């Protein structure tokens, strides 16, 4: 877990601190499949800007995520540039929205922030290619490698009453 101690940062309003560091990234589990970041330690840039009411944190890094394609289960690699921003008020009072969930006791949890930012940047489905045909629902073969069709079999006899209704119209 990578953290950054904010106690050592002494900034006045409108001042910035820019630092480069390596952030430890954990794998993600989506739809029961595991996606692993490569490299596990991502070269990152952290920018802290002090405002009159708090601090703005910006985290930037690039990551390659490896795991199965959602449609055909082939090994897939996805490159993602990540740029995240958080605000943390010096005196937030009772307003939870002015507190960053990644800051606790003057320590910024970079690993948790990076994981959440990565999860938010993911596409709806991780595919090996945009036109992935997926797996055959009848036999399970990869349709990208072996495109084919199956002959239609007769319908299930349990649906015969509904089939009769459809044909009567």
Spatial distance between the Cα atoms of 41 and 94, rounded to a whole number of angstroms: 36
Mean pLDDT within 139-143:
92
Give residue limits of the domains in the chain. 3-121, 135-169
- DSSP symbol at 142: B
- CA 120 from chain centre, in angstroms, equals 5
Spatial distance between the Cα atoms of 23 and 53, rounded to a whole number of angstroms: 27
Higher pLDDT pick, 109 / 151: 109
Given this model, what pLDDT does residue 154 score?
67
Q: pLDDT digits over 100-132, tens only?
A: 999 999 999 999 999 999 999 999 999 999 999
Q: pLDDT digits over 42-100, tens only?
A: 999 999 999 999 999 999 999 999 999 999 999 999 999 999 999 999 887 768 788 89
Spatial distance between the Cα atoms of 17 and 10, rounded to a whole number of angstroms: 9
Spatial distance between the Cα atoms of 59 and 113, rounded to a whole number of angstroms: 9
Higher pLDDT pick, 161 / 86: 86
- DSSP symbol at 138: T
Q: Say if residue 98 is exposed, middle or buried (CB neighbours under 10 Å; 0-12, 13-18, 19+).
A: middle
Decide: 100 and 57 in contact? Cβ < 8 Å.
Answer: yes
Torsion of CA 53, 57, 58, 64, to 10 degrees: -150
């Amino acid at each position: 877990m990578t953290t950054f101690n904010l106690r050592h940062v002494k900034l006045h309003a409108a001042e910035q601190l820019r630092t480069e560091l390596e952030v430890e990234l954990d794998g993600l589990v989506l739809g029961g499949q595991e996606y692993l970041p490569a490299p596990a330690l991502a070269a990152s840039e952290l920018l802290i800007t002090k405002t009159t009411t708090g601090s703005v944190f910006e985290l930037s890094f690039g990551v390659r995520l490896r795991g199965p394609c959602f449609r055909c289960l082939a090994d897939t690699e996805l490159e993602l540039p990540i740029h995240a921003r958080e605000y943390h008020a010096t005196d937030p009072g009772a307003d939870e929205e002015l507190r960053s969930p990644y800051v606790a006791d003057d320590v910024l949890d970079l690993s948790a922030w990076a994981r959440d930012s990565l999860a938010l940047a993911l596409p709806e489905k991780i595919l090996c290619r945009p036109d992935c045909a997926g797996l055959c629902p009848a036999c399970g073969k990869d349709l990208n490698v072996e495109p084919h069709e199956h002959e239609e079999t007769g319908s299930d006899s349990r649906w015969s009453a509904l089939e009769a209704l459809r044909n009567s119209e």
